[in-house]
Amino acid sequence: MIVLNLAKFLPFQNRKINDIIIRNSLDVENLTNKKVQFRYLTILPYSNWLLGKLRDDWNRYYRFPKNYLFENKIEIHMIRKIYFPGNRLNFFTTCFSFLGNVLFLKKMIKDINVVHAHNLMPEGLIAFLMKKIFKTPYVLSLRRDTIDYVDKGNPFQRKIVKSILGNAKENICLNYHIKENVEREFGIKPIVIPHSIDSKEIFKDYELNSPLRLLTASHIREEKRIDLILKALGQLNKEGYKDQYEYIIVGRENKNIDLRKFAEDMGVEAEFRGELTHQETLEEMEKSDIFILPSVFESFGRVYVEAMAKSNATIAVKDTGVWGVFENKKEIIYADKNCYQSLYQNIKFLFDNTAQISLLKENGVRAIESKCLKEKNIPRYIQVYLS
């Protein structure tokens, strides 16, 4: 069986964007002894010589070849699509992209048994059109922006979305919040397959550092709400908790968000490590006690799984990411979305009850072992492809 992975912004050159898709696919190939194999097709923005003169990223897109090798071994084919700010006209530009590439897609789909579209738009719409014209079935993964397209005020949009969902061989959600929205709005029952890790990645250490070691690992963007962590810690410092912890922030800094200045204003001594490799980030997790990331938008949030697997008591957010996968207050702590007070109270609770930190560490590791190991979840993808 050959599966075509269809996803926008698959990894290119040395950039690791969406490399989880490739890693999962390689796991499936290994578990099936290559009885299931993968091809890769990515969707990148249309660009031209003039746009390339205006912005470096558009120049990079303009110069991209039709296909390329990732890490010198994985061939990735590429089609282009016109993007407008805010995804305006997305349905129309996706159809236009499909028509412009229909002969190439017809040739590529020739030996494909099933398409795995890794998002509703534009991947899901392209897979839907390929099924209609080439009769190739597709599996659809639903991520956080699926909810953005559930627009009650746009009957045409809802009709298209329902057709894409309804024609899929299977709809796979990465979190329960998306699943609940799809069920409620369309009466379609997706399955949930969470991101998983290898059992070899688990690190068990339930002892606590003194002072406690707090960690955040993420690209520094507004929706990650790291500012709420600094604000909460600033308030806790005023209440006499300053010597109980140290706080490390790992991640690429954003020139538009001056967290260093904000930390200084809040009276928090945060250590900014900058962008580290994935392995270096995992090593930082192994040294830490509490992982905090109050991100308001996560398709799943693999970083939470990795932190829990490295024995971190973890604070996430309700109604996004791993919400519904792990039990609140037992395996993980969920703060309210965009709520400083909720985050402050949960951090203070852990500072005042350090035995709960050790308990969360241990229960978190057990939860990963029972729910998020590749050995258990990757076969579910195989079952979907082969069914």
Q: What is the secondary structure of 310-366 as a DSSP string?
A: TT-EEEEETTSTTBTTB-BTTTBEEEPTT-HHHHHHHHHHHHH-HHHHHHHHHHHHH
Domain architecture of the chain: domains with CATH: 2-196+375-386 (3.40.50.2000), 199-371 (3.40.50.2000)
The full length of the chain comes to 387
> Could you give the CA distance from residue 378 to residue 382 in angstroms, rounded to a whole number?
7
pLDDT at 229: 97
Q: What is the pTM of this model?
A: 0.83
> Could you give the CA distance from residue 382 to residue 196 in angstroms, rounded to a whole number?
14
pLDDT at 339: 94
Check: CB of residue 120 under 8 Å from CB of residue 164: yes
Q: E strands within the chain?
A: 2-8, 37-45, 67-70, 74-81, 114-117, 138-142, 170-173, 191-192, 212-217, 245-250, 270-274, 290-292, 313-317, 333-335
What 3-state class would DSSP assign to 1? Answer: coil
What 3-state class would DSSP assign to 259? Answer: helix
> Could you give the CA distance from residue 225 to residue 245 in angstroms, rounded to a whole number?
20
For 187-208, the three-class secondary structure string (H helix, E strand, C coil) is CCCCEECCCCECHHHCCCCCCC
Please state the separation of Cα 173 from the chain's center in Å: 12
> Could you give the CA distance from residue 8 to residue 125 in angstroms, rounded to a whole number?
12
Query: Which of these, 275, 261, 271, 276, lies nearest to 227 by C-alpha position?
Result: 261
Helices assigned H by DSSP within 269-309: 278-286, 302-309
Q: Per-residue pLDDT for the chain (387 aa), expressed as one digit of tens each?
A: 999 999 886 765 545 555 778 888 988 998 888 899 999 998 887 777 677 677 766 666 666 667 777 766 788 888 888 877 666 677 888 898 999 999 999 999 999 999 999 999 899 999 999 999 999 999 999 987 676 666 555 777 788 889 999 999 999 998 888 888 889 888 899 999 988 888 999 999 999 999 999 999 998 888 899 999 999 999 999 999 999 999 999 998 887 788 999 999 999 999 999 989 889 999 999 999 999 999 987 767 889 999 999 999 999 999 888 888 899 999 999 999 999 999 999 999 999 999 999 999 999 999 999 999 988 898 999 999 998
Q: What angle do CA 285, 320, 82 make, to 5 degrees?
A: 100
Residues facing 117 on adjacent strands: 6, 140
pLDDT at 58: 65
pLDDT at 256: 77
pLDDT at 223: 87
